[in-house]
């Protein structure tokens, strides 16, 4: 079943083709099984009683194997949010338990999150590190080389 990318015509920061290009830039195994990437403003999700945490710009919904992007501020942030949410998909649906334990050990060893958002927990830190590895690899390497090496060798296998 092909990946559905929907409703990005409702905004002008990232087009459907640009989302497709971002997805194609990843190893195919990272997104295999992901069913959808949808743009839906947070105010519309609120109508359906779907809770959105303040400041959150996207979410991965494992029960639907779908990413929903709620808020696009600018291109750089939008790409980061997209890769962050793909990082959640990868963590929850692709990563085996041994690799998750390895990541948790790295997270617990120094408690230096990749970003302030990553300080919430090891899963948010992984998703932030995943996005930084793609969008700002030099910054990730400079700030936390162990996480960079982990992603390079255990996730991206390069």
Is a pLDDT exceeding 80 seen at residue 52? no
Is a pLDDT exceeding 70 seen at residue 36? yes
CA dist 18 to 38, 78, 97, Å? 13, 11, 32
Is a pLDDT exceeding 70 seen at residue 37? yes
The confidence score (pLDDT) of residue 158 equals: 65
Exposed / middle / buried, residue 145 (Cβ in 10 Å: 0-12, 13-18, 19+): exposed
**pTM higher than 0.85:** yes
The confidence score (pLDDT) of residue 112 equals: 86
More confident residue, 44 or 16: 16
């Amino acid at each position: 079943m092909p990946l559905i990318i929907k409703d990005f015509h409702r905004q002008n920061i990232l087009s459907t083709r640009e989302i497709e290009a971002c997805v194609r830039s990843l190893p195919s195994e990272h997104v295999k099984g992901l069913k959808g990437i949808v743009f839906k403003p947070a105010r519309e999700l609120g109508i359906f009683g779907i809770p959105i945490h303040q400041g959150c710009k996207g979410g991965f919904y494992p029960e639907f194997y779908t990413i929903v992007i709620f808020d696009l501020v600018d291109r750089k942030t939008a790409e980061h949010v997209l890769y962050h949410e793909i990082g959640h998909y990868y963590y929850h649906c692709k990563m085996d338990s041994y690799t998750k334990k390895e990541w948790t050990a790295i997270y617990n060893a120094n408690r230096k999150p990749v970003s302030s958002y990553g300080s919430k927990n090891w899963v948010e830190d992984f998703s932030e590190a995943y996005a930084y590895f793609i969008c700002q690899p030099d910054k990730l390497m400079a700030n936390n080389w162990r996480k960079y090496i982990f992603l390079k060798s255990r996730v991206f296998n390069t």
